Structure 1
């Protein structure tokens, strides 16, 4: 550092134009120089100012809304400005004061209590609304979880049923394969058990009949049985299927599970033992196809509801009347959402019943035309009616004349 620039030997001068951190000194001869107190730098040249900082964009603060509150029991208003200032306004004298008059001390306390009570009520209302929203959310979550559990349970049942059917089919294939190769079973199969059960049932019936032969009534019964004509193969099959239908056999039923319930019915023994399982499976397959076709051909709930609208709704009918009158109709119940049903009803009334039919328009024309009265001839009436557009809504000339004559006949009654 130049010893000529030592601060202690020179005068310190204040200069507001200097950048931050710089101070100005003068030598004994009056020459200025500058020193930076932060960096220790000195210079004979005037320090260059720092580049100006870009002005920060500040969003204007939203002004609070000015509020006015009526002070209870007085004609004064308590006013809170948007800047947060408070003053009192006398509506009678139309004057404002900053200081609260002594007469307003008790009314202001009452106003404060009212504000606090209102605030508590608002807070309580918000808490109740929050609790209600939370409860609705929990209910919705619980409902969703229950539906998911039900769907999972149904899916599990369906998978289990498919596995059982697949297992049953595998067992059948294994049995057929064993028969083809002429293998001898080392233990009793499902078919053997069922055959033995049937043989036991037939033996039991024979024993019962043998024991009853000693009585005249039993002899008569045997004679009656012998008189019965033998059934054809088609009749036996029809009774076999009738038995399955009466027992409400499901399309997914398994022969081994249903066999003990069917074997005691005489109609089950009308078909040969070696064909019973095949006929049972055929019945289930045909029933499954029939159910599937019924579901495919079944109308959608919306279409069923529209059929009800077409057949029952009149132009003067209101939704409440329609709902009350047909609420027990299966077509009404087919659609579950009430708002959707009401919307379809109003749409039907607006677009399908909003306009009168051509015949109704033509009859309105006859009623509106005062010159149409008993005794007027058709050719004279036609000249009058042709001037109105409603005359041409009925396209058939014959229908126009017939409706005209029917109208005159009704007028003459």
Structure 2
């Protein structure tokens, strides 16, 4: 039989007990020192640990932000505006009744950022500069209970001055110069009425020193500690009073603050709330966009991007060039886009075939060179090639002599034996030799000039290598030069340009209406979330019963009993 090699762990020291957290981890708790740890204690006398303060500083989470604050999370009220937290809430996790996540989601949470230090900003009271655990900074106003990641202009100068003082202090420390000793905070003396001004100045200095020295620390607390009435997980080394309560925002305040933020960031009215109907300009809904306009816009898109009509639709979508254009959304859905593309390719292919037929009829070399590119090979001599393909129409064309066909064949075979780099250079030389009026940026691969497609250098490369080179060269060319047009042609061009501008304006108006509707929906969603958080906060406040609340209930019951005895 196999003998187990498992060794039982040594017994726990006196006062320590073993527990299992909801996450499955084992932790150990000392009831005498109120200390908890994940490391198994050894048989040694544990050093007594002072219990943490009973007052915790709540922090803002994404669920407990002030209404429409510009900071994702920050301290929930510094200085006099902070309130005492209820120790009984420590077992709810950090989300509590506000929809947050508890211990069971701890493994899925990312790193959380929390305020760590706060500093008074020079000449910008009562603004404070808050530094978080992750090194980020924001400013906080304890009087208005506002926090901003983006520093206001009047506060930015003070923050710049504070950074300068910190840099000088760091440089003195690096040079080894002694730093200015911090002023000790003396206990509050008994003052006479005549010394009120001096006392007020001392109190202001003491509060500034308290802000500078205040830090947040991590305290590891388990669920069992929360049941025994221990403070919550986040505590402060020094607590402050709770004379003032946080400001209460009404719906009018929220709308005003949201409008002010929208103006600061240059947003349209529809982005931070609904706009009254009387505020809309007449005709602001724009021009209607019909199905014919949508089809014409999509066709213009395909023409402008010079899409190859022989390319499958799936390859065009996978390439993704046309998707970023706003005209891509003119058709209602993907089925409509595919149908428009099919009709467009059918028309373009028909047009290309007609142009090629005209070119081939005017110059028989075009058709013969295409035939050579497809069938010519260095393995066949000219007599063998001629005998093998003697029945093909290209070999029977009387417009091209037999000597010319033989010359083209021998030149093409000798060029195929050259390196590909040489053939690419020859093609580049050919493209540069064509004048701008024949080859320009608007030219396409399907309608190249005759001077190019009748040259032996054009068929010296395979189409998969040649076409990308030509497209890259066309993209570097300037537009076609202006040519003399007749009055009818100018009138037709102006008419097409006006129709296209009208379609594009209708599309822009539709996009604007859609964007405004999205902004209004986002505003409704934000307001709904805020109202929901307010309701959850009211429910949480109603369910919170601490010692003061129990004492008040007991006093009410005693008063009622005394009244009943007196009435009897």
TM-score normalised according to structure 1 size = 0.21
Higher relative contact order (CA 8 A, sep 6+): 2
Larger Rg: 1
Larger proportion of helix? 1
TM-score normalised according to structure 2 size = 0.16
